[in-house]
Amino acid sequence: MPSQQPFALIESGAHGLAIVAVNEAAARLGIEAGTSLADARAAHPGLLSRPAEPEKDRIALLKLARWAGRYGPNRHVDGNDGLWIDVSGVAHLFGGEENLLNNMTQHLLSFGVAVQAGLADTLGAAHALARFGCPPDAAWAMAPVSETRASIGFLPVEALRLDAPRILLLKRLGLRHIGQLYDIPRDSLARRFRSSDVAAAVLVRLDQALGAMEEPRRPMQPPPVLSVARAFAEPLISSEALEAFTNELADELAAALAAKDLGARVLRLTFYRADGTSGTIAAAMSTPCHDARHMMALLSEKFSSIDAGFGVDILRLDAVRAGKRGANQKGFASPQGAAFRDPSELVDRLVNRLGRDAITVLRPNGSHIPERAEVRLPALDVLAAETSSRVQSYTPPWPYPKRLLRPAFMLSRPEPIQVTAGVPDGPPASFIWRRVERRVARAQGPERIAPEWWRTLYLDEDQKRPRTRDYYRIEDQQGAMYWVFRHGLYEGEEGSERPSWFLHGLFA
Amino acid sequence: MRFLLDSRVSAAVSVLSPGSGKDDAFKDAVIESLRSRILHIERHAPRRGVSAAPENSPLPRSRRRSRWELGCPACDDLLPRGLEANSLHEIKGVPSAVRGASAADWMAGIGFAARLAVRRIDTFAAGEEAHASSSMAGSGPGSGAGSGIGPWVLWCWPRQLAGEFGSPSAAGLASLGLDPSRLIIVETARAGDALNAIEESLRAQSLAVVIGIVEEAELTPARRLSLAAGETATPCLLVTHPASEPAGATATRWRVQRGGSAPHTFDPRAPGSPRFSIALERCRARPESAARSPMLLEWSDETRRFDLASIVADLPAQARGADGRAVPAAVRAY
């Protein structure tokens, strides 16, 4: 789109097509947002137009907000056309606040985005400066630290983020600049308005802009517990350099965590590339960790997946979640503490490499049905729960007696077998499993396991009822041992189908 | 027999070497098994395998950590330094089919490995019990199941094998003697990942023993595992496909087959204690020990140790060989 041509984005409204945004050339002609397209066309027949796409704008703005994370982890979109970024403690990475603003506006201009920036102590003041305080020849305006009052005093009251009727009211009262509000006693301001609500709204916005009142902000991502970052004048391309700097960041983060007596549970390394894109790698830990070596061990495995692109110019390491460390330190004299290290570091490394669900532990579950008596849970979660809880966690006992002979391996689904039995109710004499016939040498059983009757109470008539199982431990003539069961009883349980046989487990 | 340096060893070898008088050997085997039975009864008697140290002064902690034994003197005497903790031990079943192996062949190897792991943990517990200053150190061997304290064990295998045999069951592991709440199960998508994960686990120094089950380990991965085990003195029990090429670089290699189980004490038709026909195919510390005829060992869930099976009493007449010597079916088959 040639920028010299007047151009407008339009939207169909109640009174036909209306202009929602115009470019610089159109603004110079005096076309404003809000006029109808027909009126504008009548005055300027050369006006080009295209329907507005607010959804796409919103997505683009969110992308920009993600990019803006390089200037501070806490940021989000502001209205339909703005971004806010909390740059507390970040400016030194760019060599001061002016340089930060220059850096940011230049980047945005290079993306083809028209930009006005404002930097102030409060969100309200920064908003006012960015939208109303930018000098025409500069891309940004800045209120020096603790000079907010003076800096926004000359701005129009529109800058206070009030709705249109209130602005109108203020103007009718002759209050055109924010500075005029400073001098009016707060009580008399309330008296001048018809209702106290309006006065309260104005005062809240004024207090927020001046920092007298805290303003809640909701950032794009939950703010990290701790965050350390490095900015580089010369973008990094080699993975060795990235790794070396990440190592430094890990040391720094570990020291910061240790100083607060915290340990990281989730780490996120974000790398902002020079071309405006970014990428992240993350690692989770089962116990709060403030050991830089362990952090690096987890992160460095994923370094191969980093694509540095045109180079990385900002590297940030966040402790996204953290926990109190040392809450469950191993006793000094405990037998285990002396001999072995805690397995949680190993679990972290394996999870990092193989995925959360590949590393599991067995835990008891409240049921007597063999396949439901135990569950396999991700070790990462279980170890975290068992070590990090402040209260000594209660592990329920295994629900069966120690001497019960059960197979070491349970098939995920019992496999049907063809059985020849001496007597209908007795153990099998031979059976065919996986197409091989196995002759039974010895058998022990039955161990009768009844279904859970409480689950059958509310079954409908046509639903299949669970049946009693009679389990046998059997040994074939080669010495291999199997756990088989007869599903159902011979002398008619309800719905009496013929009982069928299944193989459920293998003894090791 | 020029290599015999130690009278204890010579006794054991004369039991086992086929050339040294069959009748004597057989008599000794019977005596040996009777001895071990007596030891069963007297559970607190010092075991012969560790009796090198004087009574009431158990092996130094470091030595307890560095080795463990099967609990059966006839078998332990084949190994000059016991099962070494800092090395890789390979366990293979005997392939029964012409092509490949059945689940039963795998199970024999896995069962033997699991019981070696139980022995390892008990050796630990015994060492800790003797040395821990407080009485909180665990209530000794046999109390492992369900207690929630004690060392961790890691079990690693590729998903494909898990699909074939199902998943390890807590109840079953508890009945083997392992504490299911101290077991980490790793299932990997590929066999190569399993070997990597085993190596990583060996280096972690958090585990009493790592049980790996893979189709095959080639020389390089096996050497890596062996080195990793050596670094941290964490033993690796590697169960491989019964029909695959044996891995090199192992300290020992065992060939295992299930024998018919011992008669049940109360029920003649029921299977009793499991028996394994064991052959030591490779022994790096004493190569002469390898390639002997297999032994039939019986695992006792009570004492948690292996013993020579007392084959005389419980085999039916037709199972005896032509010379009147009882030969278990499994051994004959092998």
Q: Give the number of other CB atoms < 10 A from CB of residue A499.
A: 19
Instruction: Give the amino acid at B330.
Output: A
**pLDDT (tens digit, 9 = 90+) per residue, A423-448?**
878 889 999 998 888 899 999 988 99
pLDDT at B65 (0 to 100): 62
Structural tokens at position B248: 């090199």
In angstroms, the CA B72 to CA B42 distance is 15
As given in the structure block, the two tokens for residue B220 are 């390089």
Mean pLDDT, rounded, of chain A: 84
Looking at residue A165, its pLDDT comes to 83
Residue in B closest to A374 by C-alpha? B170
* Residues above pLDDT 70, as percent of chain A: 92
Contact A389, A405 (CB under 8 A): no
CA dihedral A320, A325, A327, A333 (to 10 degrees): 140
What pLDDT sits at residue A219?
86
- Considering only CB atoms, A478 lies closest to which of B104, B151, B208, namely B104
Give B66 or A153, the one with higher predicted confidence: A153
Which of A66-80, A336-350, B111-125, B148-162 is predicted with the least confidence, judged by mean pLDDT? A336-350
Query: With 0-12 CB in 10 A as exposed, 13-18 as middle and 19+ as buried, what is B42?
Result: exposed
Query: Does the beta-carbon distance from B200 to A353 stay under 8 Å?
Result: yes
Residue length of chain B: 334
Choose among A446, A428, A434, A442: nearest CA to A480.
A442
Question: Each residue of B138-188: pLDDT tens digit?
Answer: 333 333 333 456 789 999 999 999 888 989 999 899 888 888 888 999 999
Interatomic CA distance for residues B269 and A233, integer angstroms = 82
**CB atoms A410 and B193 under 8 Å:** no
Q: Look at A413 and B11; give whichever has higher pLDDT.
A: A413
The b-or-e profile of B269-294 (16+ CB within 10 A means b, else e) is ebbbbbbbbbbbbbbbeeeebeebeb
In the 3-class helix/strand/coil scheme, how is chain B assigned residue by residue? CCCCCCHHHHHHHHHHCCCCCHHHHHHHHHHHHHHHHHHHHCCCCCCHHHCCCCCCCCCCHHHHHHEECCCCHHHHCCCCCCEECCCEEEEEECCCCCCCCCHHHHHHHHHHHHHHHHHHHHHHHHHHHHHCCCCCCCCCCCCCCCCCCCCEEEEEEEHHHHHHHCEECHHHHHHHCCCHHHEEEEEECCHHHHHHHHHHHHHHCCEEEEEEEECCCCHHHHHHHHHHHHHHCCCEEEEECCCCCCCCCCCEEEEEEEECCCECCCCCCCECCCEEEEEEEEECCCHHHCCCCCEEEEEECCCCEEEECCHHHHCCHHHECCCCCECCHHHHHC
* B309-326 pLDDT tens trace: 876 555 544 444 444 444
Helix (H, G, I), strand (E, B) or coil at A22: strand
- The pLDDT score that the predictor gives to residue A472 is 93
Strand-pair partners of A21: A9
| pLDDT (mean) for B10-19 | 42
Closest chain A residue to B127, measured at CA: A335
Residues 301 through 330 of chain A touching chain B, CB cutoff 8 Å: none
A402 CB neighbours in chain B (<8 A) are 145-146, 174-175
Give, to the nearest 10 degrees, the angle between helix A292-300 and helix A239-259.
150
| Chain centre distance of CA A428 | 55
What's the distance, Cα to Cα, between the start and end of chain A in Å?
A: 75
Count CB neighbours of B56 within 10 A: 7
Q: Please tell me the distance from the alpha carbon of residue A188 to that of residue A302, in angstroms, as a whole number.
A: 63
pLDDT tens digits along B96-143? 765 556 888 899 999 999 999 999 988 887 766 665 543 333 333 333
A-chain CB neighbours of B150 within 8 Å are 336
Closest CA to B143 of A473, A341, A335: A335
Q: How far apart are the CA of A449 and the nearest CA of chain B, in angstroms?
A: 15
* Cβ neighbours of A410 in B, within 8 Å: 166-167, 169, 172
Asked if the model's pLDDT at residue B331 lies above 50, the reply is no
The answer to whether residues A251 and A327 touch, using CB atoms and an 8 Å cutoff, is: no
Residue A61 in this model has a pLDDT that exceeds 80: yes
Mean pLDDT, to the nearest integer, of A327-332? 43
Closest approach of B11 to chain A, Cα-based (Å): 31
CA distance B111 to A174: 92
CB pairs under 8 A between A and B: 220
Within the 1-60 window of chain B, which residues sit less than 8 Å (CB to CB) from chain A? none
Interface test with A, best of B147, B164, B167 (most A CBs within 10 A): B167
Residue A400 has a pLDDT of 66
Given a contact cutoff of 8 angstroms between Cβ atoms, the answer to whether A206 and A160 are in contact is yes
Cβ contacts of B171 on chain A, cutoff 8 Å:
370, 373-374, 398, 400, 404, 406
pLDDT, residue A181, reads 86
With bands split at pLDDT 50, 70 and 90, how would you rate the model's confidence at B255? very high
CA gyration radius for chain A? 35
**Which pLDDT score is estimated for B88?**
93
3-state secondary structure of A471: strand
Q: Is residue B269 less than 8 Å (CB to CB) from chain A?
A: yes
Collapsed DSSP state (helix, strand, coil) of residue A159: helix
| Burial degree of A41 (CB within 10 A; 0-12, 13-18, 19+) | middle
**Mean per-residue pLDDT of chain B:** 75
Distance from CA of B221 to the nearest CA of A (A): 18
CB-CB contact of B182 with B146 (8 Å): no
Residue A479 is nearest to which of B183, B258, B301, comparing CB atoms?
Answer: B258
- The beta-carbon neighbor of B260 closest among A334, A335, A475 is A475
Which residues fall within 8 angstroms of residue B132, CB to CB, at 6 or more apart? A333, A335
Nearest to A351 by CA among A315, A383, A327: A383
Residue B141 confidence (pLDDT) = 38
Task: For A406-432, give the DSSP string.
Answer: --SEEEEEEEEEEEEESSTTS-EEEEE
Bridge partners, residue A51, by sequence: A10
Does B139 contact A at CB distance below 8 Å?
no
pLDDT of amino acid A126? 92
Residue B19 has which token pair?
């050339």
Residue A63 one-letter amino acid = K
- pLDDT score, position A339: 63
- Strand B305-308 versus strand B295-300 pairing type: antiparallel
Residue B72 pLDDT greater than 50, yes or no: yes
Q: What is the largest CA-CA distance in chain B?
A: 58
What pLDDT, on a 0 to 100 scale, did the predictor assign at position B4? 37
**Mean pLDDT on A265-272:** 90
Cβ neighbours of residue A84 under 8 Å, at least 6 residues apart?
A75, A76, A77, A78, A123, A126, A127, A217
Say whether pLDDT at A402 is over 70.
no
Does pLDDT of A220 surpass 70?
A: yes
The answer to whether residue A28 scores a pLDDT higher than 80 is yes
A421 and B CB contact within 8 Å = no
Question: Closest approach of chain A CAs to the CA of B117, in angstroms?
Answer: 13
- pLDDT range class, residue A335, cuts 50, 70, 90: very low
Q: Which residues of A touch B265 (CB under 8 A)?
A: none
Using the beta-carbon criterion (under 8 Å), do A374 and B169 form an inter-chain contact?
Answer: yes
User: From the centroid of its chain, how far is CA B332?
Assistant: 21
From A468's Cα to the closest Cα of chain B, the distance in A is: 20
Residues in chain A: 508
A33-41: list long-range contacts, CB under 8 Å, 24+ apart: A37/A8, A37/A10, A40/A8
Local confidence band at B254 (pLDDT 50, 70, 90 cut-offs):
very high
**Residue B307 or residue A191, greater confidence:** B307
pLDDT beyond 80 at A16: yes
Query: What pLDDT, on the 0 to 100 scale, is given for residue B107?
Result: 92
CATH topology for A226-401 is Dna Ligase; domain 1 (3.30.1490)
User: Distance, in angstroms, between B148 CA and closest chain A CA?
Assistant: 8
Which chain B residues in 180-239 lie under 8 Å from chain A, judged by CB atoms? 180-181, 183-189, 193, 196-197, 200-201, 204-208
**How many distinct helices (H) and strands (E) make up chain A?**
16, 19
Short-list B228, B226, B232, CA closest to B250: B226
pLDDT top residue among A430 and B41: A430
More confident residue, B23 or A10: A10
- For A8-16, the CB contacts below 8 A with 24+ separation are A8/A37, A8/A40, A8/A47, A8/A48, A8/A49, A9/A49, A9/A50, A9/A51, A9/A52, A10/A37, A10/A49, A10/A50, A10/A51, A10/A52, A11/A51, A11/A52
Question: How would you classify the pairing of strands B183-188 and B152-158?
Answer: parallel
**Domains identified in chain B and CATH numbers:** 7-333 (3.40.50.300)
**Chain B interface, mutation test: which of A392, A406, A413, most B Cβ atoms within 10 Å?**
A406
Q: A171-193 burial by CB neighbour count: b if 16+ within 10 A, else e?
A: eeeebeebeebeeeeeeebbeeb
In this predicted model, which residue has the larger pLDDT, A198 or A216? A216
Alpha-carbon torsion (A136, A139, A142, A148), positive or negative: positive
CATH 3.30.1490.100 maps onto chain A at: 226-401
